């Protein structure tokens, strides 16, 4: 591996230059930072709003449903402890039927529906019901706010090709990956930034170097964008083979910034490729694009990651420079 790489000024992305233990990636494929901070207690490090707005929809719905059932079970148990006979129209002859009636009374009180068929007859259960109705108003207000936050949160749902490839490019070679927008909204003013991270074997420290791109900005992401870093003599990866990249624990960190025209807000997307996710000697297959009679252009983005194997100029790729 050529030593001139490590004499360049390293950018600091916030991951630190001493992080060389293991071969964990800094960014996961979904763009989440692969760092877990500890040293504080759970309540100091836990962010409820961030957790609720960033978890998957399935987990969010399961959490909301579980909390709803647990709260109703809790209050139904309190009502049952105070006595089913303290309620009107509750069947007290069967404990199971009594608890079932109290559970549904709790659900009606928590949601402030209040059908009125079952009603409290004593001050004790009326007090508990009043507390539950207040808790219901507050909890549903919070749940509604979180639900709105999840729907209104602008994001850039960008698809990345599964592999980054080294392909022929204008007489030399280039590092390439493809991105596409699967949503029906439009992303405009898209900017890309690619940074390579690798270990300097002499100092055992990590460096971060920006990779110049063929194009760093486009106006629309309507079909796809093949982001290209030309591997010329000024490139940090010039002369590096795949084995060199694996030995240096190379990670290519991708950062995309765009404007979401639905929200008129700037959105961000991140991803990364490790050295074992690179394919040397490949070329992306073109998309299947069809024109309809109605004047629409149909793009099949399922071929985003498809590529063919090709030959590369050997001297530009496999030559190691000491």
| 322 residues of the chain, pLDDT tens digit each | 455 565 566 666 666 656 555 567 777 777 677 666 666 666 666 778 888 888 889 999 999 999 999 999 999 999 999 999 999 999 889 999 999 999 999 999 999 898 889 999 999 999 999 999 999 999 999 999 999 888 887 776 889 999 999 999 988 999 999 999 888 888 899 999 999 998 887 777 888 899 999 999 999 888 889 999 999 988 988 888 899 899 888 999 999 999 988 878 888 999 999 998 999 999 999 888 777 767 777 878 888 999 999 988 764 444 444 3
Residues 29, 33, 34: CA angle, nearest 5 degrees? 85
Domain interval for residue 190: 155-317
Q: What burial letters (b/e) apply to 199-233, b meaning 16+ CB within 10 Å?
A: bbeeeeebbbbebebeeeebeebeebbebbbbbee
Q: Is the dihedral of CA 164, 166, 168, 172 positive or negative?
A: positive
Domain co-membership, 131 together with 209: no
Note the pTM of the prediction, 2 decimals: 0.72
Q: Name the domain count of the chain.
A: 2
What is the DSSP secondary-structure string of 207-259? EEEE---S-SEEEE-SS-EEEEEEESTTSTTTT--HHHHHHTT-EEEEEEEEE
Residues 126 and 184 in one domain: no
Q: Please state whether beta strands 205-210 and 217-220 pair in parallel, antiparallel, or not at all (unpaired).
A: unpaired
Among 112, 132, 152, residue at a domain's last position: 152
Query: Are 99 and 138 contained in the same domain?
Result: yes
Query: pLDDT tens digits for 222-275?
Result: 888 999 999 998 898 888 889 989 988 899 999 999 998 887 888 899 999 999
232 and 89 assigned to the same domain? no
For residue 19, being part of any structural domain is answered with no
Asked whether 188 and 200 are in contact (CB, 8 A), the reply is no
Whether 279 is covered by a domain: the verdict is yes
Which of 152, 167, 202 terminates a domain? The answer is 152
Q: What is the CATH number of the domain that holds 131?
A: 1.10.287.70
141 and 170 belong to one structural domain? no
Tokens standing for 29?
């494929």
The domain that contains 193 carries what CATH number? 2.60.40.1400
Domain end, chosen from 96, 118, 152, is at 152
Report yes or no on 55 lying in a domain: yes
Residue with tokens 């791109």: 213
């Amino acid at each position: 591996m050529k030593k001139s790489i490590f004499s360049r000024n390293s950018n600091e992305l916030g991951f630190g230059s001493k992080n060389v233990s293991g071969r964990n990636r800094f960014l996961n494929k979904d763009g989440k930072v692969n760092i877990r901070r500890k040293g504080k207690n759970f309540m100091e490090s836990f962010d409820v709003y961030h957790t609720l707005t960033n978890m998957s929809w399935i987990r969010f719905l399961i959490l909301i449903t579980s909390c709803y059932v647990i709260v109703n079970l809790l209050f139904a148990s309190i009502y049952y402890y105070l006595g089913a006979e303290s309620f009107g129209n509750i069947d007290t002859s069967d404990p199971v039927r009594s608890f079932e009636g109290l559970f549904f009374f709790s659900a009606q009180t928590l949601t402030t529906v209040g059908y009125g068929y079952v009603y409290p007859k004593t001050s004790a259960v009326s007090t508990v019901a009043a507390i539950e109705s207040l808790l219901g108003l507050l909890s549903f207000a919070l749940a509604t706010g979180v639900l709105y936050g999840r729907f209104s949160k602008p994001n850039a749902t960008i698809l990345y090709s599964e592999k980054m490839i080294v392909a022929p490019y204008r007489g030399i070679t280039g590092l390439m990956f493809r991105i596409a927008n699967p949503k029906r909204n439009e992303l405009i003013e898209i900017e890309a930034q690619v940074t390579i991270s690798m270990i300097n074997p002499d100092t055992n420290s990590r460096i971060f170097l920006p990779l110049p791109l063929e194009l760093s900005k486009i106006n629309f992401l309507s079909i796809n964008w093949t982001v290209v870093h030309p591997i010329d003599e000024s490139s940090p990866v010039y002369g590096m083979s795949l084995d060199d990249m694996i030995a240096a624990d190379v990670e290519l960190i991708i950062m995309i910034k765009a404007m979401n025209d639905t929200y008129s807000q700037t959105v961000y997307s991140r991803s990364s490729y490790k050295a074992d996710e690179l394919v040397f000697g490949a070329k992306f297959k073109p998309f299947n694009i069809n024109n309809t009679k109605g004047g629409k252009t149909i793009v099949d983005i399922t071929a985003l990651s498809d590529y063919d194997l090709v030959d590369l100029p050997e001297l530009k790729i496999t030559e190691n420079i000491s």
